[in-house]
Amino acid sequence: MAGVYETLTLQQKLRLTLQRDVQAICQEACQILELDIQDHAVDLIAELAWNNLQVYATDLEQFAKHAKRSTINTEDIKLLVRRNSTLKSYVTGCAENISATSGSKDKKKKGNAANAGNSSAAGNSKTKFTEDATKTSNKPTTSNKDDMDEPTIDLT
């Protein structure tokens, strides 16, 4: 069976994985709620989830492109969920937690760079460049048009 899976395209593998996960979630929910669910209902839920994920991916990609970025960030995700107040609150809280966590890591990096005070001038400028590069997540990493077609996700 592993041989058959290897011959599938990436999209087929993703759909199969989503189908498996939806089926597991449905089984768990039905067990908790003491309900039964028909197999074709699970298939329909998986198909609806797949279609929604495709729309979300396209929207996120367009939000990043509109902002002239090649990276999808938390602001794009907040824009995606703007009409669902509960989800928007959850995403905003997660984004704040991630920012707080990455902010403390940046402070540690800055502290380590300051402690290396006896470095050469070239070494200090290299460290400075590295720190500045981590702060420019809203700019495209390259100017290659091909990279603009496939944004990456940056949750920091």
Q: Residue 71 in contact with residue 141, Cβ under 8 Å?
A: yes
Alpha-carbon torsion (28, 31, 33, 36), positive or negative? positive
In this prediction, residue 35 carries a pLDDT of 96
**Nearest-angstrom CA–CA distance, 64 and 132:** 21
Residue 70 class from Cβ within 10 Å (0-12 exposed, 13-18 middle, 19+ buried)? buried
pLDDT tens profile 105-146: 655 555 555 444 444 444 433 333 333 333 334 333 443 444
Question: What's the pLDDT at 103?
Answer: 76
> Which pLDDT value is given to residue 32?
97
Residues 48-95 pLDDT 10s: 999 999 999 999 999 999 999 999 999 999 999 999 999 999 999 999
